[in-house]
Amino acid sequence: MKLIPLADKVVLKAAEVEETTKSGIILSSATQEKPAFATVVAVGPGGMVDGVDVKMVVEVGMKVLVAKYVGTEVKLDETEYTVVRQSDILAIVE
C-alpha cells in the first residue's frame, strides 16, 4: 500500500532515535520521547484549504522539525508514519 496525502497534508517518517543516553544508559522504547525530527515521505497538492490558497513549500526527502504531539500516526507495512498539515511543520532542517 501507499499513502497519498490530500490538500495540505504531509506524510512524515520519524528520524531514528538513539537508544542510549550520552552517559551510556540504555532507554527502553517506552521511555523514549517522540522524535521532533522527521523526513518528508509524501506531500499533498495544496490548493484551497478552509478558504485559503495553500502553496506547498516542503518537498519529498526534506528533513523537518515538527511539534511533538501533532498529526495522526499510521502504521503501514510495519512502518510508522505521521500525517500532519504543512502548518504543523515548524522548520526545515538543512
pLDDT tens for each residue of 36-68: 899 999 999 999 988 989 999 999 999 999 988
Backbone angles phi and psi of 67, in degrees to 5: -65, 155
Round to whole Å and give the CA distance between 75 and 91.
Answer: 24
Partners of 8 in the beta sheet?
none
Partners of 42 in the beta sheet?
11
Residue with cell 526527502: 61
pLDDT for the residue numbered 85 = 96
pTM of the model: 0.80
> For residues 66 and 28, is the Cβ–Cβ distance under 8 A?
no
Residue 19: is its pLDDT beyond 80?
no
pLDDT for the residue numbered 68 = 83
Within 10 angstroms of residue 2's Cβ, the number of other Cβ atoms is 8
